[in-house]
Chain A
């Protein structure tokens, strides 16, 4: 039973990070009907920039609490990623808004490759470790352990998601986003600056991605130039699971995928009698993805969209 609780906790923490990234996919898809394949790379850049700042601060010997150092890194990483998100849309998607659908897919792949290789040239091919500056106190809950970091990640993710919902529901730009998602042409006629809304969506999604990147690298203790690919894929799966284009769906899908994955990793050995080990963990995201798309392409909370050409 304590394995169950432990995996539930791990899954929820991981899932909250997936949810943050999934929001970026879902918002862009809601507005442009486009899968931003380069989003995972923004997550990676967020983690890498933060780590670079943190490591530089540590090396320079400043005597600040670890939390402040990490916050400093985040303060650099978030604007960098926002600028990156803006640039990606401007360079790779906007010129192709009316081109055949394959064209933006290829430019997105191009952007991913470029970002990965730029990161590799700057930070090298090896794993960069996160200095152990965050308190790792473990609390005991009914036989399962939970660290301060896990609690913090989960709560921060919840706060950010709540903030996003408020922004989309209550503010003027949020109303513009919803209007553009409904019908871009009509929104334009009604005085919404469609291009500004699209840029804003990319910037917002990238800010969340940057924070998610920091969370992941702090949680696992490492960052790597290639980490964005799998993370992006899983977050996309989460978005599809919840119903792509649906903000609440992305959050639900993220948490659910995190829990499914952790549970699978915890129990797969027992279920298959040791035939499949926990290194099959990553397969589950793909099975979930295929299962959802085949049986319920609209996702848990979404409308029917899969038939769109």
Chain B
């Protein structure tokens, strides 16, 4: 390669990196000024979903274990935070104690799910994990009697906001003489943690463990033959993905101040899985793109109401109803035209774009013959 080009490439990368950093740092102020503070809140949620999607990406994207109950770990983290820092039990533990504890407990739940299902793959695993997620949700919904633990369907209220060094993030702070609401502070906390998770994911990808996961995803029998302890490596994937979910759950509870079983239904798991698959499984920028798109799009689709008003003179269909419809259609369309996701990694794209193998050729011929 030309030495000059390497140098200019590096410079371009540096410039892009600095620009991205500045953009991320200024984002809440830009968004807040342009679209209002409601959108800064959406930005916070986007970062939460980025963390969740990256956690699930470890399980689904790297290790190829299809998990449809991921939201259960999110729920475990959120409820742990809610129980340990709210008037429910009168406990108000500090956040730096709860978050690691949440990661640990969620990780244990992940292993509990992983251990009995090690033999299962593909759709079967998806269904079992789905069942697991529903079981957790039903228990959260019903553990209010005879001993009240989760407060049942009402959920837990008045959860302590996240506090850093004794300063609660929910209060507004002043910056250069400007009063800035707490959602901005949450943005920076979430951004820092999301970047940490991105960093961990990147390091994992090229590590021994990450390569073992990919080996299992591609061919489990071959991986085992090469000396990979598939059982431990799979359990580790479940535990790690789950602990990221647990941390995100804790952040969610502190940010929201309220948790109820409703937030942890199957649709939520499906949404996170869609972020991973739609963006590009196993490819970190793709997964982040998926998370951003799927969090922001449904919100943006709320603007369909005024659009309908302008087009038809009245609101024909409630935009809240329409946005899920459009979301469902988008899932179908994207998968049909880009089954590898919107932004697949280079290796995966190669796999999809390469000439069909001899076997596939034959199958195609057979299907054609049968038409």
Contact = CB atoms under 8 A, between A and B. Distances in A.
A102 B277 contact: yes
Interface in A78-119: 91-92, 95-107, 109-114, 116-118
Contacts of A192: 370
B278 interface: yes
B127 A121 contact: no
A113 B66 contact: no
Interface string B41-68: 0000000000000000000100000100
B128 interface: yes
Given A101-B122, A105-B126, A110 B325 contact: no
B14 interface: no
Nearest to A275: B146
Interface stretch (B26-34, B134-142, B175-183): B134-142
A72 B277 CA distance: 43
A280 B139 CA distance: 8
B90 interface: no
B336 interface: yes
A162 interface: no
A157 B289 CA distance: 48
B122 A309 contact: yes
A96 B335 contact: yes
Contacts of B171: none
Nearest to B337: A95
Contacts of A282: 134, 138
A286 B332 contact: no
B329 interface: yes
Interface in B65-107: 66
A293 B363 CA distance: 31
Interface in A205-239: 229, 233, 236-237
Interface in A280-309: 280, 282-283, 285-287, 289-290, 293-294, 297, 306-309
B127 A195 contact: no
Given A95-B336, A193-B371, A309 B142 contact: no
A189 B146 contact: no
Interface stretch (B15-23, B113-121, B255-263): B113-121
Interface in A241-288: 274-277, 279-280, 282-283, 285-287
Contacts, number: 157
Given A289-B131, A294-B117, A309-B121, A109 B66 contact: no
Interface in A113-144: 113-114, 116-118, 120-121
A114 to B, nearest CB: 4
Which of B123, B139, B145 has the largest count of A CB atoms less than 10 A from its CB? B123
A274 B328 CA distance: 42
A144 B202 CA distance: 63
B266 interface: yes
Chain A interface size range: 35 or more
Contacts of A92: 332, 336
A185 B96 CA distance: 59
Contact of A107 (B331, B340, B367): B331
A114 B281 contact: no
A297 B328 contact: no
Interface string A19-55: 0000000000000001100000000000000000000
Contact of A113 (B138, B145, B327): B327
Contacts of A277: 142, 145
B370 A193 contact: yes
B370 A114 contact: no
A96 B336 contact: yes
A40 B116 CA distance: 27
4 tightest CB-CB pairs across the interface, nearest first?
A110-B331, A113-B328, A188-B370, A286-B131
Interface of A: 34-35, 91-92, 95-107, 109-114, 116-118, 120-121, 184-185, 187-189, 192-195, 229, 233, 236-237, 240, 274-277, 279-280, 282-283, 285-287, 289-290, 293-294, 297, 306-309
Given A95-B336, A185-B366, 8 more contacts: A98-B364, A110-B331, A113-B324, A114-B325, A189-B370, A287-B131, A290-B128, A290-B132
20 contacts: A34-B123, A35-B126, A105-B123, A106-B274, A114-B332, A120-B321, A121-B321, A185-B366, A189-B366, A189-B370, A236-B127, A276-B142, A286-B131, A286-B134, A289-B127, A290-B132, A293-B127, A294-B128, A297-B119, A309-B220
